[in-house]
Structure 1
């Protein structure tokens, strides 16, 4: 029996029937967005205070690794019994992770908190996606996902500046503790809607194999991000082994033919991973570059992230307004092209030490490109998924997102360390160059996102 919501209400996503659920879910996404931006803004300061520059990239990759496990577990759990238990449990784990990070006295404790937080956030995203499919009728799905993307607008406007200011005046710990407190009222808003979602009969079995494979993939990601801790000879063996494990482990976690860019859902999942990796691969190192070579304070270095997030939200809003006037394939290609242009600006900035305005403008275009295509991935994947595939395919989107970003962060982290770290502009050039190569690859395979003959072309 289909568990998709029956369209019994004529109202929109902000009608009385859906208002609290919409605001609560968007708020949770917004808190996750704030936390992500906050980490990028304050981590240069954290790494200096905790003597953790060697583990800089791992602080970003660690939650991405455990989010893989959280996504697979949550997708399986949601397909078995619905999203209610998934959303409740994952929100709690996300909050616990923030508490550990916010009280961390050492880099090791902070990494533990990031691991817990990553599992919770990965599971939460999948739970919210499935909740959308069961709570809202199909006609409202594009608006909800556009709202999720636009949830970056407020964190993008004030998040980096708030995080930088709090860090300068009170210490970075309070950035994470504040996000934890804010999650409480957000969850309270969705609680009534969660109670309305009846649990399913468990007709989908537990997939222990997929969960174990996700754990293997997570371990490979962590190993890749520890390359700087190994001798050169050992590093080569670690890279080979980790890549092989990832290639094998990800196959059962993604739709068939994803790694071969099969037409339709497989390529949509692959593209989500590639463009997310290209964006985060640049986003992580931009505040570091501005701080190390342009003298920006923690608050000021968040300016680039702010304008990128605002343009992301603006583009997401525009997608909803344009509707079918821009085909899905054209929208995806426009988005990827803008990402390529933005990453090129990041590459040339440290090469010639050009004015940081070039980077800020370029990253504004990158954010717009992401917002112009990101909601399309979720809409199309849900449209082309059966009732018993929504949890799997929703988790696959976020798995590809996290896995792609984690691999790119491993490559950039290794390059950053080998080329001299923050004091050498060449290290930043290498990091942005990796992101550019991934973005170009995404553009090359984008034509397979929409099957031939589809009206979305």
Structure 2
């Protein structure tokens, strides 16, 4: 090297300076951003498409009686994957967890797509769930390590935007593939598409976010947390099973599930989460409250429109399609530089919009109310969710020390997923107890209107609790350990 040539340190410093001035699609971040958002896009497409293919798959595999387990199997193993990914990412870096997660997700798709029996199909879904749990947490850690704080709102908005096209196109594409090629290709077509985003993202992740945190120990896994992860997965599975079978005997697995679930949750989430302690615990709690309220209510919207207003399943599904666009719009708004000083106020507004949307939905039980009211209300509610969910992720990373980003990302996802299962179990039980009736029917038949009111009104109340939690997102001890 001559005296006129810059040193490696100078080149690295100049590169860092240029990167600091770039956006998420600037030269320094483009390959990484496109790669990880593409992974989110494919997971989103699978999540939105599978619901269309699942009834056909269950019927052909003679497994309609096991239908619910194809969903709960995915959920319970994803919880375990989330905790494992947090441990793995904090101690070894996110690269190993991400590659294993993508491989497991693809392998599960292949197992499900080639299954000749329902139990093998459920096994494939369980492998998928494990991989999905690994992927989502490790991606959050990648964001925390590879992007400066000023770019994190933008990449979180890009994650939300990755759900827009799948939420609109996914069900239609899945229906066309199922009808013309067979349901198996809904599962078998996606693994091949994973190769390109992986090829783009992995070299950048290795360079920017590989290995343990600088100055941290490359330690082994915390066996206690792994045991708690197993407990939370098994407990959630038992609780879901009990909620699906409203008999006295179901109290046994329900109580056993709760006995496993409660100590595991208390051990895996930040101390004080369910007391809404200021700072990180309230951020984690808000994520669960927001997601659980909307998802639990949204699950019953198509059923309500089909059984009470006589819409076809396709039209009922379209009533929620615009929500994907407005969710992305809300995420984009929270990412604007001018919105940063008002982040908490925007999150409060978001939860109020979510509560209003859920409360407005059952108005269509009155025949004089046009059905498009649901579509409009849900668009506003999903805009609110875009403000809340992306902002919660940004705040979680801001309040986490580098060596805690994995565990806290896992806690955020656990709160989301666990709230879904608990509130879905509660609303499902209330719906059945108040005359929920059949899952299909003509207008005015099937499920009793009061059963739908028992779902939507309590969930609107849960969303209002979330609005209160948004007032407790900052305070003493912002860097709360998980």
Map of 1:250 onto structure 2? 265
Map of 2:385 onto structure 1? 370
1:199 aligns with 2:211: yes
**How many Å separate the matches in 2 of 1:109 and 1:396?**
30
**How many Å separate the matches in 1 of 2:31 and 2:280?**
31
Q: Which runs of at least 4 in structure 1 moved beyond 6 Å after TM superposition? A: none
Instruction: Give the Å deviation of 1:175.
Output: 2.3
Map of 2:50 onto structure 1? 39
Mean CA deviation greater in 7-16 or 305-314: 7-16
Structure 1 counterpart of 2:249, from 213, 225, 234: 234
**Alpha carbons of structure 1 residues 323 and 50: separation in structure 2 relative to 1, 3 Å:** farther
Map of 1:263 onto structure 2? 278
Structure 1 counterpart of 2:466, from 434, 442, 450: 442
Residues 66, 115 of structure 1: 8 Å contact kept: yes
**Secondary structure of 2:122's aligned partner:** helix
Map of 2:38 onto structure 1? 27
Structure 2 counterpart of 1:110, from 99, 114, 121: 121
Instruction: Give the Å deviation of 1:296.
Output: 4.7
**Alpha carbons of structure 1 residues 213 and 50: separation in structure 2 relative to 1, 3 Å:** same
**Alpha carbons of structure 1 residues 339 and 7: separation in structure 2 relative to 1, 3 Å:** farther
**How many Å separate the matches in 2 of 1:412 and 1:213?**
26
Map of 1:150 onto structure 2? 161
Map of 1:341 onto structure 2? 356
**How many Å separate the matches in 2 of 1:73 and 1:321?**
33
Residues 153, 334 of structure 2: 8 Å contact kept: no
Residues 137, 410 of structure 2: 8 Å contact kept: yes
**Alpha carbons of structure 1 residues 147 and 261: separation in structure 2 relative to 1, 3 Å:** same
**How many Å separate the matches in 1 of 2:382 and 2:270?**
27
Residues 210, 253 of structure 1: 8 Å contact kept: yes
**How many Å separate the matches in 1 of 2:477 and 2:104?**
44
Mean CA deviation greater in 213-222 or 50-59: 50-59
**Alpha carbons of structure 1 residues 305 and 93: separation in structure 2 relative to 1, 3 Å:** farther
**How many Å separate the matches in 1 of 2:404 and 2:269?**
11
Can you list the C-alpha shifts for 1:239-273, whole angstroms capped at 9, x where unaligned?
33323322211112111111211111101101101
**How many Å separate the matches in 2 of 1:291 and 1:187?**
40
Instruction: Give the Å deviation of 1:278.
Output: 1.3
**How many Å separate the matches in 1 of 2:337 and 2:26?**
22
**Alpha carbons of structure 1 residues 52 and 405: separation in structure 2 relative to 1, 3 Å:** farther
Map of 1:409 onto structure 2? 424
Mean CA deviation greater in 336-345 or 445-454: 445-454
Instruction: Give the Å deviation of 1:27.
Output: 1.0
**Alpha carbons of structure 1 residues 41 and 323: separation in structure 2 relative to 1, 3 Å:** farther
TM-score, with normalisation over the residues of structure 1? 0.89
1:164 aligns with 2:206: no
Map of 1:382 onto structure 2? 397
Q: Which of the pair has more CA radius of gyration?
A: 2
1:14 aligns with 2:25: yes
Instruction: Give the Å deviation of 1:228.
Output: 5.5
**Alpha carbons of structure 1 residues 337 and 27: separation in structure 2 relative to 1, 3 Å:** same
Instruction: Give the Å deviation of 1:24.
Output: 0.9
Residues 83, 229 of structure 2: 8 Å contact kept: yes
**How many Å separate the matches in 1 of 2:341 and 2:149?**
20
Residues 105, 128 of structure 2: 8 Å contact kept: yes
Instruction: Give the Å deviation of 1:97.
Output: 1.6
**Secondary structure of 2:403's aligned partner:** coil
**Secondary structure of 2:211's aligned partner:** coil
Map of 1:307 onto structure 2? 322
Mean CA deviation greater in 100-109 or 274-283: 100-109
**Alpha carbons of structure 1 residues 372 and 42: separation in structure 2 relative to 1, 3 Å:** farther
Map of 2:475 onto structure 1? 451
**Secondary structure of 1:14's aligned partner:** coil
Map of 1:394 onto structure 2? 409
TM-score, with normalisation over the residues of structure 2? 0.85
Can you list the C-alpha shifts for 1:96-149, whole angstroms capped at 9, x where unaligned?
122223334444333222211111111101111111222222222221112112
Residues 400, 408 of structure 2: 8 Å contact kept: yes
**How many Å separate the matches in 1 of 2:471 and 2:161?**
26
CA RMSD of superposed structures (Å):
2.8
Map of 2:191 onto structure 1? 180
**How many Å separate the matches in 1 of 2:116 and 2:69?**
17
Residues 74, 86 of structure 1: 8 Å contact kept: yes
**How many Å separate the matches in 2 of 1:171 and 1:295?**
28
Mean CA deviation greater in 50-59 or 243-252: 50-59
Instruction: Give aligned pairs, total.
Output: 450
